[in-house]
Structure 1
């Protein structure tokens, strides 16, 4: 069997809120949820599982998502319409901008739990 990515757990104070933010932004499908997980279905059977933290403090993580140009346009418009702070770079030196690195476009922003999300239209490799 080839190695494929199956799922990851993203810690969130409110898993339902973070899952809703993700689904609406990326036009992702809702998936059956169980136990402490609120699940979002991506292509190829990949699950993003949002769950409450076992500790009081959440350590921000970085998650990058490759999307096509059309989805980037729609998702970026949602970020702007909702007033979500975003940057062209991970150091947050270029607020309110996107980048044009690696022959595509990219943007960095935080989800409701404070994690750093990146949306790109071209892979780095």
Structure 2
């Protein structure tokens, strides 16, 4: 069996609103927390984001989704339709620009509760040069 990430906890002030917004942007299902403590967003067949409420000011959380070009365009369109500001880098000002430096497209947007969301079409963490470095580490 390969190692797969099953779920993550996302701490927010309003779990229902946060889960509903993300699910609507990504075009994926979610469920209200009436049946349990967490409000889940079903990202795909193997990954669930479990939204949990906290009264504390959440620390920065960053989650990135790799998507196809078609999915990127659909999510981007929904983001624009909701008037959500975005940027091309994880830090810095809102520049309303799509980043293309990795050979694909990516954008970042911040949710009101402090979560930094990202979508990309090409993983900059898994570029060929980086993958070769990982293989060398595995062989050591």
Under a length normalisation based on structure 1, what TM-score does the superposition of the two structures give? 0.90
In the alignment, the residues of structure 1 paired with residue 91 and residue 56 of structure 2 have an alpha-carbon distance, to the nearest angstrom, of 26
Contact 1:17 1:112 in 2 (8 A): no
> What is the match of residue 38 of structure 1?
39
Structure ranking higher on relative contact order (CA contacts 8 Å, 6+ apart): 1
| Partner-residue secondary structure (3-state), 1:102 | coil
Structure 2: unaligned runs, 5 residues or longer: 127-140
In the alignment, the residues of structure 2 paired with residue 27 and residue 109 of structure 1 have an alpha-carbon distance, to the nearest angstrom, of 16
| Partner-residue secondary structure (3-state), 2:102 | helix
In the alignment, the residues of structure 2 paired with residue 49 and residue 94 of structure 1 have an alpha-carbon distance, to the nearest angstrom, of 27
In the alignment, the residues of structure 2 paired with residue 57 and residue 23 of structure 1 have an alpha-carbon distance, to the nearest angstrom, of 23
Q: How many residues align?
A: 124
> What is the match of residue 49 of structure 1?
50
In the alignment, the residues of structure 2 paired with residue 74 and residue 64 of structure 1 have an alpha-carbon distance, to the nearest angstrom, of 16
> What is the match of residue 136 of structure 2?
none
Contact 1:89 1:107 in 2 (8 A): yes
After TM superposition, give the deviation of residue 36 of structure 1 in Å.
Answer: 2.2
Determine whether 1:96 maps to 2:83: no
Alignment of 1:1-125 (within 5 A): 1-31=1-31, 33=33, 34-53=35-54, 55-93=55-93, 95-124=95-124, 125=126
Structure 1: unaligned runs, 5 residues or longer: none
Distance 1:50 1:119, change over 3 A: same
Decide which structure has the larger Cα Rg and report it: 2
Under a length normalisation based on structure 2, what TM-score does the superposition of the two structures give? 0.81
In the alignment, the residues of structure 2 paired with residue 116 and residue 98 of structure 1 have an alpha-carbon distance, to the nearest angstrom, of 15
- 1:88-120 residue CA offsets vs partner (Å, 9 max, x unmatched): 111224611110022100001012322101110
After TM superposition, give the deviation of residue 32 of structure 1 in Å.
Answer: 7.0
